[in-house]
Amino acid sequence: MTLIMGVDPGKTTGVAVIETSAVATREQIIVWWAEVAFEDAPQALSGLALKADLIATERYFINAKTARRSRQPEAFYVIGGLVFLAALTETPLELQSAADAKNAFTDHLLTKMELLDKVRSAHARDGLRHALLAARRIGVAV
């Protein structure tokens, strides 16, 4: 079995953990999720990172569009913490485009996979999308 932690970094950090294998069907994906306040993220994420086989998170950057809408320095801190935890635990870390994750695993697809209702937090759903995209890229079932 492969344990993948997906993280949507930010002031409210969404975390989803999936456990799956190359032979798992969509119905056999086990999901655990949480919404974590920024202040609690280091403790919550460090425990999960010790168990994960892979960590996937958003490749967050500020451009002209995001600078006008919302700057989230918290996202950078969370990502930095994940980079540190990944290095400390020798766990692979995958930085992904938020758009790639959302386009690959839309709400419609998550509904068909019977995962949308399992994860009731919008932030944790984005973490789930990152975990699922990472699972697809490494070749485990999704």
pTM of the predicted structure, to 2 decimals = 0.88
Q: What is the pLDDT of residue 19?
A: 87
DSSP-based three-state secondary structure for 32: strand
Domain span at 134:
2-138
Question: Which one, of 139, 58, 41, lies nearest residue 102 by Cα?
Answer: 58
Higher pLDDT, 5 or 29: 5
Give per-residue pLDDT as tens, 54-77: 999 999 876 676 666 666 788 888
- Span 39-58, average pLDDT: 87
Q: For residue 8, give every residue at least 6 positions away whose Cβ sits within 8 Å of its Cβ, in sequence order, or none.
A: 14, 15, 57, 58, 123, 124, 126, 127, 130
Q: For residue 65, give every residue at least 6 positions away whose Cβ sits within 8 Å of its Cβ, in sequence order, or none.
A: none
* DSSP assignment letter at 82: H
Give per-residue pLDDT as tens, 73-118: 888 889 999 999 999 999 999 999 999 999 999 999 999 988 888 8
Q: What is the pLDDT of residue 127?
A: 95
What CATH number corresponds to the domain at position 112? 3.30.420.10
Q: What is the number of domains present in the chain?
A: 1
